[in-house]
Amino acid sequence: MGKKSEITRAKLIETARALFLEKGFDGLKMQELADKAGMNKGLLHYYFKTKDVLFQAIFKEAMQNLFGGVVKELVSNHPLEAKMHTIVDLYFDKLKANPGLPLFVLSEVHRNPSLKSLVGITDIIPILMGAVTTRITQKEEREQFLNLVLSVVSLCVFPFAAQPLISKILPGSVKFEDFIEKRRNYVKKIATHLIEEL
């Protein structure tokens, strides 16, 4: 693929990413995407034969963005508290840069549950649980660990998924961005407390 072709493809993906995040799969028409990307529909189909193929590429990227680094940290040899604090930072940094990502992923997985198999989640879970079972032998401890991870991830993700609602209920002088930065440290404190309770 030539340099011009790579630039055109990258522009198309960038435009599609923004539109899919805004409108979801069902809300986006290929003609609208072609118009926004500044190309004709034929060129769009040259790069991606169907809307579904393009969506799958964007959705897989979104999932890798959402989970990338987290699994690596979970299977690392770092102490548990350091792992959880790193995961909090990973999520807050990623979601500040892409606040619409959690709602997009959740709504699309609910719309089409078969997406879970396409994005490699089925590959992530055995890797994660394999790493957990080599370090945690008791079934009850594995469940506690899973609950810890789910709790920390949920505490990170929910404010971004519910940003429009949270922005409305914050006191007038508090900006969402400031609230999120304070929440980052709050979630780390909760993670530390949950670890102490294990």
Residue 151 DSSP code: H
Q: What is the pLDDT of residue 56?
A: 84
Count of structural domains, the chain: 2
Are 67 and 124 found together in one domain?
yes
pLDDT tens column, 163-174: 999 999 999 899
What does the alpha-carbon distance between residue 192 and residue 84 come to, in Å, rounded to a whole number? 8
What's the number of CA atoms in the CB half-sphere (13 Å) around residue 6? 3
Q: Which domain holds residue 45?
A: 3-49
Within a domain: 57: no
* Residue carrying the six token digits 């505490």: 155
Between 21 and 118, the higher pLDDT residue:
21
pLDDT tens column, 76-135: 888 889 999 999 999 999 999 888 888 888 888 888 777 655 555 555 555 555 655 555
Would you say the pTM of this structure is higher than 0.85? no
Mean pLDDT estimate for the chain? 83
Are 34 and 101 found together in one domain?
no
